Amino acid sequence: MKRTGVWSRREFVKWAGGAAGAAPWIVPASVLGGEKKSPPSERITAGIIGAGKMANDFHIPSLLGLADVQVLAVCDVDTSRRNHAKKRVDDHYATKGGPAHCAACNDFRELLARRDIDAVCVATPDHWHAIPAIMAGKDVYCEKPLTLTILEAKRLIDAARKHTRVFQTGSQQRSNVFGRFREAVEIVRSGRLGRIKTVRVGVGGPSRWCDLPEEPIEPGLDWNLWLGCAPLRPYHSVLSPRGVHNHFPAWRSYREYSGGGHTDMGAHHYDIAQWALGMDESGPVEIVPPEDPKAQKGAKFVYASGIEMFHGGPSGCTFEGTNGKLYIERGILKSEPESIAKEPLGAGDVHLFRSPGHHRNWVDCIKSRERPVADVEVGARTVTIVHLGNLAYWHRRKLRWDPQKWQFVGDAEANTWLDRPRRDPWKLPG
């Protein structure tokens, strides 16, 4: 059977029924991307998949703070986190005079099957981003780093374009959250630094294979569903913390679930580098690992223009041009000479779209059907850079990349690294 950007009705129903037990599934056409449903003009109804720290700190309060959004459902494989999120939403709407009933489910497919939900926010661990985002059949806000593999990144673009979804990547620095990132990009793109020679991105290193010992399973956690496509392994609280927590879990450190600090903050800061270089629809053409076989930083990314970008340096982004340097980090924007960053931009300089806020921009675009500030391809191109870097670290050899064909050049072995094996029944749609 030929696959399209989403699963066929027969595939989805067969798969959902087999994976979820004997419960019947009613799957509307909108879940499969077949129904062109316009969002309500006054209110967007939303569901949240993943109720961990990012949902609690950022997504739930942001969406509840928008008067034209109503959160109808939350989903998490952990009972404590799921019930905590539901209560938070219910309590909020109760103070507003209702309605005060937010549904709560364990399996994301139940949320996706609801006709009354227009849009979903995916805030799961990285290995659980692509499948629900592709299957959604709805407008999507998906956390960064956007995917676990390069093939997933390409599939997300294909699905969003085919089914005309509004897709916002959680690269909120583009909405000037945490700092003056848009202004830094405007300065670079206005030519204040002259010709850009190098960019340095200071973030953490790649992930490693998981070697955690077994712990007693957390009551109320669907551990099999938490693992999903990842290999079967015993439970450990480092991966899925017990109950409601206020820290970022360390599943980010392990290759089965994430790309380490390199993909985590790299999805933010390489994104700013890409934006400043005008490469939102492209990327580097060569990736060179550091000479030291044990080094976890120092990879070099070479663009077709000759610009070289290095993994390493102070946290954030440092742009070096023929006329000076510019450094941007959360809360910091400075330059050498100082006038580059301090002198206001003129009418003839580059002025980019000023996002009203990352969730606000997403909701506005759901209504207008325009592409948001961190469109799916923005996130896909950025996460591909960090995946390319990780592959160079893990395999310790130079890689040549064709960003238009999404393939390694003349390297059949490397092209087998675009994706990874998946545990049944969790195949990649598309």
CB 175 within 8 A of CB 144: no
**Residue 31 scores a pLDDT above 70:** no
Residue 252: inside a domain: no
Q: What is the mean pLDDT of residues 375-399?
A: 98
Q: Are residues 183 and 69 in the same domain?
A: no
Residue 266: CATH number of its domain? 3.30.360.10
Q: What is the mean pLDDT of residues 93-101?
A: 81
Output helix, strand, coil percentages for the chain, rounded to the nearest 5. 35, 20, 50
Residue 401: inside a domain: yes
Which domain covers residue 192, as residue numbers? 175-206+261-415
Compute how many other C-beta atoms are within 10 angstroms of the C-beta atom of residue 87: 13
Q: What is the mean pLDDT of residues 63-90?
A: 97
Q: Are residues 30 and 179 in the same domain?
A: no
Q: Are residues 162 and 131 in the same domain?
A: yes
**Structurally, how many domains does the chain consist of?**
2
Pick the closest to residue 378 from 256, 309, 302, 281 (CA basis). 281
**Residue 283 scores a pLDDT above 60:** yes
What is the DSSP code string of 320-384?
Answer: EETTEEEEEETTEEEEESTHHHHSPP-TTS------S-HHHHHHHHHHH----TTBHHHHHHHHH
Q: Are residues 150 and 179 in the same domain?
A: no
Widest distance between CA atoms in the chain: 67
Please name the helix (run of DSSP H) or strand (run of DSSP E) that holds residue 414, with its range, or none.
helix 412-415
**Residue 403 scores a pLDDT above 70:** yes
Question: pLDDT (tens digit, 9 = 90+) per residue, 251-279?
Answer: 999 999 999 999 999 999 999 999 999 99
